[in-house]
Amino acid sequence: MIEALLVFLVLALFFGMLLGYAKIKFKVEGNPVADQIDSILPQTQCGQCGFPGCRPYAEALAEGNSEVNLCVPGGHEVMIQISEITHREPKEMDASNPPPEEPMVAVIDEDICIGCVHCIKACPVDAIVGTTKMMHTVIEKECTGCELCVPVCPVDCIDMVPLMKTPQTWHWPEPNANSLENRS
């Protein structure tokens, strides 16, 4: 009887110490949730979530002050990832505002542009160059396709166009034809 008690006492002590050690050894620093969310957000800085940029949205989510389904460019996949990180119920995306099917970039019609700098001010990533009364242009490589510049243009000279498909940018499609498994 006494041996059994002793054994359990020793075991309890041992595991207790092990747990204590693990807590010190594998300590997690900072608020990684916001960082984690920020790292999966598409960084278009489009503000469609209602926050001024991706980072604020991530922080709001980390504090539990926002919904998981607000990132429009990220779409369903990002929503699922966010709900996994925040341990919240996934919520359907707003169907009326689907993410673009292919990557888009803004293009300024340089014949119409009047050089008002409104779009330059609106661009969250400084991807538009130009100066007052000079024609503006979009650096295609840096444009995130956030569309923030489109409504501010007074002469409607900014269009969102899909990136040109070339053999170099082409991707092999995923196989699905003829598969019996994918039929339902």
- Cβ 77 to another protein, closest distance in Å? 9
By the rule CB under 8 A, 163 interacts with another protein: no
| 93 CB neighbour count, 10 Å cutoff | 19
Strand runs (DSSP E) across 6-126, as ranges?
104-108
Return the residues of window 75-134 that contact another protein according to CB under 8 A. 111, 114-115, 124-127, 131-133
Q: Per-residue x/- mask for another protein, residues 7 to 46, rule CB under 8 A?
A: -------------------------------x--xxxxx-
What secondary structure letter does DSSP report for 165?
A: P
Round to whole Å and give the CA distance between 85 and 58: 11
Round to whole Å and give the CA distance between 157 and 148: 13
Name beta bridge partners: 108.
Answer: 158
Token couple for 10: 């020793």
What secondary structure letter does DSSP report for 98?
A: P
- Cβ 11 to another protein, closest distance in Å? 27
By the rule CB under 8 A, 167 interacts with another protein: yes
Chain residues in the site for another protein (CB under 8 A)? 38, 41-45, 53-55, 111, 114-115, 124-127, 131-133, 135, 142, 144, 151, 154-156, 165-167, 170-175, 177-181, 183-184
